[in-house]
Structure 1
Amino acid sequence: MFLIQQQPIVVEVLKQPAAAPDISVDVMLGMFALAGAFLLVAALGGLVAGAIFIGIRHSRDASAPPTDTDHVRLRI
């Protein structure tokens, strides 16, 4: 008689919390977006720097007197 349990075991059943969305996809998209932004800024910076260098060469060639040399000058 002593082995019979006198009080029942009460277990409260709670609702499971809603599943949180996986943030790894958001993190990956953010990384690729940031890398794309850096790539775009670098490409635009390179184009601007190239245009500046070409402009400097054009202005330097326009102000220099013409010379006859054996070298071939590229008119870029």
Structure 2
Amino acid sequence: MLSILLPVYNCNCVALVTELQRQCTECGTDFEIIAADDCSSVASYIEHNLRIERLDGVHYITRKQNVGRSAIRNFLIS
């Protein structure tokens, strides 16, 4: 299984995740895409990114407290 771990902070990741999901599906690879939002402060990004939850094989996690780049990557790995 291929696991794609994507830390997100104040950005719209819908296009990226949609394309990754499309490519994995097209290749026939078992996959999971996990995007973890590190407590973004821009509500419009959070609202847009929630749409990726509807994609097969994709999970979107929103954190309640910003922990920084290293910590969010470690969180995704665990």
TM-score, length-normalised on structure 1? 0.27
Structure with bigger gyration radius: 1
Q: Which structure features the higher share of strand residues?
A: 2
TM-score, length-normalised on structure 2? 0.26
